Structure 1
Amino acid sequence: MGFISGILETIGITAIIPLFSFVLKDKTGGTDIISTTFTKFFGFINIQLNFYVLAAFIILLFIAKSIVLLWANNINAKITANFEKQMRVDMFRSVLNTNWTFLSGQKIGYLEKIVMDHIARTSEMLRHLSGTILLITNLLIYIFIALNISSIITLLTLSIGCILFLFYKPIAHKTRKISQYYADNNKIVANIINENMIGIKTIKATASENKVWEKVKKHFNELQFARVRMSVLSYIAIAFLQPIIIIFIIILFAFSYTRPDFNLASFVVIIYLIQKIFSYIQNIQGKLQTIYESLPYLKSVVDNKKIIRHNKEITDGNEVFDFQKEITFKKISFFYSPEKGIVLNDVNFTIKKGESVGLVGPSGAGKTTIVDLLLRLFEPNSGEILIDGKNINTINVKKWREVIGYVSQDIFLLNDSIENNIRFYDDSLSNEIVIKATKMANIYDFIETLPEKLSTQVGERGVKLSAGQRQRIILARVLARSPKILILDEATSSLDNESEVQVQNAIKNLKGKITVLAIAHRLATVMNSDTLLALENGKIIEQGEPENLLRDKNSYFYKVFHIRDNGDAINHK
């Protein structure tokens, strides 16, 4: 595009400069190379060169140039927009396919800034880079024409231009550093705003608005300071350019006017060219300033793409999921890092198909880690998880997760309808399946009381519904996919007693139909389990049927159950 635009610019220049020579022909004779070339060209096509022919030719050239430039800019805009879209699509898709270790360490708002702002600035930088190439192409064309008219004046002009570029170099370095600081602060602000908006209810309840504002205000002030510095630096390089041009032209005129070979037409042309050369130098400096400001954003995108590529989730495995007998945790040990110590230590247990297994233990015992290993969010450091004697790593990760239903205490609902929250990006689910799932989750009767039924909007994070209603919609979402294994990770911990009973009833109806692993602090949640596992300090300390464990006064479950029971009795008093 730069080359095409440069050729068009050449046509414009070579068309308008002979016009100066032609108008002043009586005085100058039109002996410059451009006028001579045009005279030969029109002579070759047998057209008498006069003012009107030349004027009409120039008008047609500039109209053609404008049309082609409009077309070229349209193509350039499409290429830039497509690049921006593709970068965003690729990065977001890549992030979704990274491993859980990477994802769990991400700060809220950072990814949004990189995908939306940093890629946009990178795209803008490439557009300015293309513009710089175009400007340099046109500048070379002007230099070529100027050298043919007056090599001395052209070389003097270029010398001043080189000095200006040397002056600009340290400014560009400072600009890049400040822009990096601005980009980093922008991500921090995005994180603070997103984080606090998620917890806005807590902020309001604790009257912490002013403290949050003061924290954000500090970063706003830093962003303001950085923005002002970048603006000042961007104008320093070009602020003195116009006076330099005027001084240079006056000195040049004073020197040339006294010479006996002074030619007004040539002088007008060379002054025009000097102005254009300086104008291009100024525009190139402006483009380079913007490019330097955008370099930290490009670096951010490139660095994050490398990190994302390095943390890609391994989805190897080509075995078909087949669950007929049991899932076995065999000598499983796990730690997040050696410094933090071991989380699970030589854990062994078996979950039979169709069985309901409860997992209890104090906070930090490793219960959720067992769930994460079963979801294959982490890999054990030693030992293996088997399904019917086969290592689960032989099955593709995505295929594995498609048959596992996961309900946690952290409720995630889209700001959309109840129906779309149950479908959850799976348009293959029929209306019959969705309705059946709501009935299995004990939420159907409630939905039927709503004016818009399944089309009812749940609001941001489901704020228009109660905690119990939200949790049962999540359960319906999971059940709609007909999972082979259902994992309940503290699924009822935040619910009131009535809501817990409704969820419990829904789970009870699944007994024998789906293999269930339930983690709970509320012991009533796991009383209906076929098998109970007690986990403490990363080890299975006991397992058995809940009723049998309650009969053993020395069992962990017996002690915990009666502590809770006594606590409830005291509370009732």
Structure 2
Amino acid sequence: VTPLFSRIFMDNILSGKNPEWLIPFIGALGLTLLFQFVVALLEAVYWLKIEGRFAITANAEYMWHVLRLPVEFFAQRFAGDIVSRQGANQQIAGTLIRKLAPIFINICLLVFYLAIMINYSILLTVIGVAAALLNVAAMRVTAQKQVNLSRIAQASDGKLAGATMSGIEMMETIKAAGAENGFFERWAGYYAKQHNAQVAISKFTQYFGAIPALLQQIANIAILMAGVYLILDGVFTIGMLLAFQGFLSSFLSPVNQLIDVGQSFITMRSSMERVEDVLNYRPDVLEQGQWPVDDEPLEKLSGELEINNITFGYNRLSAPLIRDFSLSIKPGSAVAIVGGSGSGKSTLAKLITGLYKPWAGEILFDGKKYEEIVPYVYKSSVAMVDQEITLFEDTVANNIRMWDMSIEDFAVILASRDADIHDTIISRPDGYSHMIKEGGKNFSGGQRQRLEIARVLAQEPTVIILDEATSALDAKTEERVMKNIRNTGATCIVIAHRLSTVRECDEIVVLDKGLVVERGTHAELYARGGEYARLVSSE
């Protein structure tokens, strides 16, 4: 409509042909502008709502998928990199809505304006379409370079985010070691690479981003010259030329938006590759309904464990850390795994819990493989107290029950008593509603360990793996806690450097470089005078 207003004003009002049209013309123009403003406002609000809903859904699906990925996925990537990929996922979701949704409308507008332009002048239309095609060609020529620069920039972003997060998490260690300068130099190196990558993208965008504007200006000049020729030839009027330029601008608007969609996909390609790396990674477990269950699943496993000739390492190009390991554990018994640092004890614990899959051999619970057990049965039956304790900024009760509201308050209190942390909790303001600071900073190391033990006991598992779970406890507290754990009747697998922890276990397995070198009771192994006796003597 606006180009038609230009034609009417020039050919009918300004020329003096129909001066009485001026007042109605101004009124019609004002109503048109008001209508355009209202429609643009409604469109912006509508798309904002759609974009928000789509982004929420996409982020929720991404996060749920991440939570179901196996541990090795996280072992191979920076935490900051995974977080930055979530940001990229949100950006992709927003771009898809903003750019893709109006494509059909833009194509319709493009055809509509093209038809009007052809009706005005085929010659001028050819010039305008040629400018649009040159813009598309320029985009295609620069596409791969943009993708490569974007890949480098996003990889640098992920590394910088990971370095920043690790520095904040290690702040106490950095300050205790006086390593601020060293860490800052390392962080500054990551930042410099990230900044240089962003500068490279900005330079490229500035240089090649001027091409579309330049081509459009050339097209405008060419159309103006051709239009003047048509006016002098009596085919065109000045108003028709102004109207055509308006229609050309309206035609190029959807063209530019379609080109922008292509540019966005080029820019997003590296982001999509990083997000697809996450989404295409196979989850650790299937949905419950997809499990091949032969019999009605039991509420809990009995605690029987059979490990048959398992071999495992973190890198298949290197020698395995665990080699041909076998172990049979009866329900309710306690087995200790000891050995020097790097002997494979913690790795074995993670294999038993299903965090990693062995290269060879099998681990059976009640005669079934991990994949054959209904997920909720496995998760409620097997639990591990890790040597790396993680506490969240939430209440004590929620940290113990891990937000599983099916665990009643009584079970939380009972688990805390067994972990010998109940008295400490009730001595704090608000008791079990007391807020734990991030990382458990307002609790001591021994208290954090006992909270972790209480967290496991609250699940009432039938198989408990204790990986250096009592290393920060004094001897008397450790004795009470271990006695309470044994009294639950759960199968216990104890991994410890401090051998006083394992003396009462039914069997002790001694590892050395991933191989079993000795096994037996404390008395048998000590009397034998081998590796175990050497470890005891070195304490």
TM above 0.5, one fold? Answer: yes
Distance 1:225 1:53, change over 3 A: closer
What is the distance in 2 between the residues matched to 1:333 and 1:171?
50
1:143, distance to aligned residue in structure 2 (A) = 2.2
What is the distance in 1 between the residues matched to 2:316 and 2:348?
18
Q: Deviations over 1:436-466 (max 9, x none)?
A: 2211111111112212322222222112211
Which has the larger displacement, 194-203 or 267-276? 267-276
Residue 506 of structure 2 corresponds to 530
The one-letter amino acid paired with 1:535 is L
1:212 aligns with 2:186: yes
1:507 aligns with 2:485: no
Instruction: Specify the SS of the correspondent of 1:509.
Output: helix
Matches within 5 A, 1:282-321: 285-286=259-260, 288-306=262-280, 308-309=281-282, 312-313=284-285, 316-318=291-293, 319=295, 320-321=297-298
Pick one of 152, 155, 164 that aligns with 2:123: 152
Residue 469 of structure 1 corresponds to 447
The one-letter amino acid paired with 2:123 is I
1:199, distance to aligned residue in structure 2 (A) = 1.8
Instruction: Specify the SS of the correspondent of 2:78.
Output: coil
The one-letter amino acid paired with 2:406 is S
1:244, distance to aligned residue in structure 2 (A) = 2.8
- 2:156–2:190 CA contact under 8 A, matched in 1: no
Distance 1:379 1:176, change over 3 A: closer
1:433, distance to aligned residue in structure 2 (A) = 1.8
Q: Deviations over 1:368-414 (max 9, x none)?
A: 23322321223444444344555555322442121122101100111
The one-letter amino acid paired with 1:521 is H
Q: Deviations over 1:472-529 (max 9, x none)?
A: 1111111111111211011133x2x53x642442122222422211100111111232
Distance 1:54 1:406, change over 3 A: same
What is the distance in 1 between the residues matched to 2:242 and 2:206?
35
TM-score normalized by the length of structure 2: 0.86
Instruction: Specify the SS of the correspondent of 1:363.
Output: coil
What is the distance in 1 between the residues matched to 2:227 and 2:354?
79
1:69, distance to aligned residue in structure 2 (A) = 4.8
What is the distance in 2 between the residues matched to 1:160 and 1:390?
68
Pick one of 363, 366, 385 that aligns with 1:407: 385
Distance 1:338 1:62, change over 3 A: closer
Residue 377 of structure 1 corresponds to 355
For structure 2, the residue ranges without an aligned partner over 5 or more in a row are: none
Residue 196 of structure 1 corresponds to 167
Residue 9 of structure 1 corresponds to none
Distance 1:208 1:22, change over 3 A: same
The one-letter amino acid paired with 2:497 is H
Residue 232 of structure 1 corresponds to 206
Residue 137 of structure 2 corresponds to 166
Matches within 5 A, 1:362-401: 362-391=340-369, 393-401=371-379
- 2:322–2:513 CA contact under 8 A, matched in 1: yes
Which has the larger displacement, 483-492 or 167-176? 167-176
- 1:324–1:353 CA contact under 8 A, matched in 2: yes
1:90 aligns with 2:61: yes
Matches within 5 A, 1:72-91: 72-91=43-62
Pick one of 227, 236, 243 that aligns with 1:269: 243
Instruction: Specify the SS of the correspondent of 1:181.
Output: helix
1:287, distance to aligned residue in structure 2 (A) = 5.2
Residue 108 of structure 1 corresponds to 79
Instruction: Specify the SS of the correspondent of 1:486.
Output: strand
Instruction: Specify the SS of the correspondent of 1:328.
Output: strand
Residue 493 of structure 2 corresponds to 517
Distance 1:492 1:172, change over 3 A: same
Matches within 5 A, 1:414-433: 414-433=392-411
Distance 1:23 1:260, change over 3 A: closer
Instruction: Specify the SS of the correspondent of 1:339.
Output: coil
Distance 1:437 1:558, change over 3 A: same
Distance 1:502 1:223, change over 3 A: farther
Which has the larger displacement, 76-85 or 330-339? 330-339
Residue 255 of structure 1 corresponds to 229
Residue 7 of structure 1 corresponds to none
Distance 1:173 1:421, change over 3 A: same
1:177, distance to aligned residue in structure 2 (A) = 2.6
For structure 1, the residue ranges without an aligned partner over 5 or more in a row are: 1-11, 30-48, 565-573
Distance 1:27 1:103, change over 3 A: same
- 1:125–1:294 CA contact under 8 A, matched in 2: no
The one-letter amino acid paired with 2:62 is M
What is the distance in 2 between the residues matched to 1:392 and 1:117?
34
What is the distance in 1 between the residues matched to 2:271 and 2:305?
47
1:275, distance to aligned residue in structure 2 (A) = 4.0
Residue 538 of structure 2 corresponds to 563
TM-score normalized by the length of structure 1: 0.81
The one-letter amino acid paired with 1:272 is G
Q: Deviations over 1:124-161 (max 9, x none)?
A: 25522445554443333222222222222222222233
The one-letter amino acid paired with 1:330 is N
Give the superposed CA RMSD: 3.3
What is the distance in 2 between the residues matched to 1:276 and 1:195?
51
The one-letter amino acid paired with 2:110 is L
Residue 546 of structure 1 corresponds to 522
Matches within 5 A, 1:446-457: 446-457=424-435
What is the distance in 1 between the residues matched to 2:257 and 2:327?
71
Which has the larger displacement, 279-288 or 225-234? 279-288
1:221 aligns with 2:195: yes
- 1:534–1:543 CA contact under 8 A, matched in 2: yes
Larger Rg: 1
- 2:418–2:481 CA contact under 8 A, matched in 1: yes
- 1:119–1:301 CA contact under 8 A, matched in 2: no
